[in-house]
Amino acid sequence: MAKSPGGKACPEKRAAGRDARHWLLKSEPAVFSFDDLLAAPARTTAWEGVRNYQARNFLRDDMRVGDLVLFYHSSAAPPAVVGVAEVVREAYPDPTQFEAASGRDAPGSDCTAPRWLAVDVAALAALPEPVPIVALKARPELAAMAVVQRGQRLSVQPVTAAEFGLVLRMGGLDARKLRIGHKLT
DNA sequence: GCCAACGTTGGC
DNA sequence: GCCAACGTTGGC
């Protein structure tokens, strides 16, 4: 929140949709799991390879440092929310779009106008009890979550604070004990 | 701009 | 492995 010369707070671009400070990110554990994130240097990884415009727009327009992330394992047995992470770097050009070897290169993109973006996320804590999708679907309070919608494939999804808090409680984690900005050691 | 074909996602 | 749902592609 920037200050005007008079010291009054300016809304900036946060005015629109700025209560969406919680997210769900999907990852196939066979490709990159929450344990992989915990084992990564500084428990941090580049969230790259996103090749969907709606997901890209969320990364670019709405994700901010300090936003909280539910880490979801898709194509897993069972599919489940398994951990909590934090956004630690805002959108920047996804390097894999220029790397043929990445398998995610995007010929239509050039480095003067990158089409695809990445953010960095850091692990905060694993859920003591992973919350499987069947448990999410069983809670009426979570019926609006994108992840429980039939046919929803978006890999970057906004989540409300209430949904986020409930999923954490279901996973046995007290949201108040998350030390945001101070990665657990 | 329409829309059929195709590829991918992802739960089951 | 099945298949529904969705996004993208490309002919016209």
**How confident is the model over A102-119, as a mean pLDDT?**
78
**Residue A144 to residues A10, A73, A74: CA-CA distances in angstroms?**
31, 19, 18
H or E, element range at A135: helix A133-137
Burial class (CB in 10 A: 0-12, 13-18, 19+), A7: exposed
CB A21 within 8 A of CB A64: yes
User: What is the CA A53 to C1' B2 distance in angstroms?
Assistant: 22
Lowest average pLDDT, out of A28-37, A84-93, A170-179, goes to A170-179
What's A27's DSSP letter? Answer: E
For the cut 50, the answer to whether the pLDDT of residue A7 exceeds it is no
* Bases in strand B with any atom closer than 7 Å to a protein CB: 8-12
Give how far the C-alpha of residue A43 lies from the chain's centroid of Cα atoms, to the nearest Å. Answer: 14
Contact predicate A94/A50, CB 8 Å: yes
pLDDT digits over A86-97, tens only?
A: 999 999 999 888
Give the model's confidence band at A5: pLDDT under 50 very low, under 70 low, under 90 confident, else very high: very low
| DSSP structural state of residue A15 | S
**β-bridge pairing A22-27 and A68-73:** parallel
Asked which of A6-10, A41-45, A166-170 is least confident by mean pLDDT, the reply is: A6-10
Distance A108 CA to C9 C1' (A): 14
Q: What is the pTM of this model?
A: 0.86
For residue A18, say whether its CB is under 7 Å from any atom of strand C: no
**What is the greatest pairwise CA distance in chain A?**
56
Cα A177–A45–A182 angle (5° rounding)?
A: 25
CB A72 within 8 A of CB A79: yes
Distance between the alpha carbon (CA) of A181 and the C1' atom of B7, Å: 40
Instruction: Tell which wins on pLDDT, A154 or A106.
Output: A154
Provide the CA A165 to C1' B3 distance, Å, integer.
Answer: 43
What are φ and ψ of residue A88, in 5° steps?
-115, -10
